[in-house]
Amino acid sequence: MIGSIRSKTDRGRAAPSNLKGQAYMVEMFTVMIASIIILGAAVTLLGSINTYRMRTDKTLLAAQDAVNALMLTPGFPSDWERNPSSASVVGIAYRRNVIDAAKLDALNQTNYSALMGLERFNISISITSGGLIVYQTGTVDTNSSLAMVERTCAFINGTPCTLRLMVSGG
């Protein structure tokens, strides 16, 4: 009888030891599943932030490229203002950051948004001098994200001015 009592006692003690191992396994799986869910949420969040930044940066980079083409080059061909339909690149520069008035006047006779690679955007170009707007063309949607690039420039006669290009949509 004593042997049978001991074996019942031994069996009773062995059971909690096995359950202890099962509890660790359940806890480990719970922690792993929670970690995977948190990691997935973080990757999704960072991906959406990256997508937003890429879209926003793309608009700003396109606007900067367009301002560079306008203010740093005379366009192509360099006398495109004589025949605006022949322009493949619009530029209004007489020389770097100096505006050629004839090219500026001819700008509205072209599809300047397509020639600057901004055909899917709304574009506004304005030039101010002494606080007054001396040239303005195009409109932008102020309800969507805007990218704005300003460039200090001058007219051929030396009058200082500021060119502002705003781009929205896309």
Mean pLDDT over each residue of the chain, to the nearest integer: 85
Cβ-based burial of 170 (10 A; exposed 0-12, middle 13-18, buried ≥19): middle
pLDDT in tens, 110-131: 999 898 888 888 999 999 999 9
User: Which percentage of the chain shows pLDDT scores above 90?
Assistant: 54
The pLDDT score that the predictor gives to residue 1 is 47
- Count helices and strands (H / E) in the chain: 3, 8
144: pLDDT confidence band, cut at 50, 70 and 90? confident
Tell me what pLDDT residue 163 has. Answer: 96
pLDDT score, position 49: 80
Is the pTM of the predicted complex or chain greater than 0.85? no
- Tens-place pLDDT, residues 46-63: 888 877 766 667 788 888
- Rounded to whole angstroms, how far apart are CA atoms 132 and 124? 16
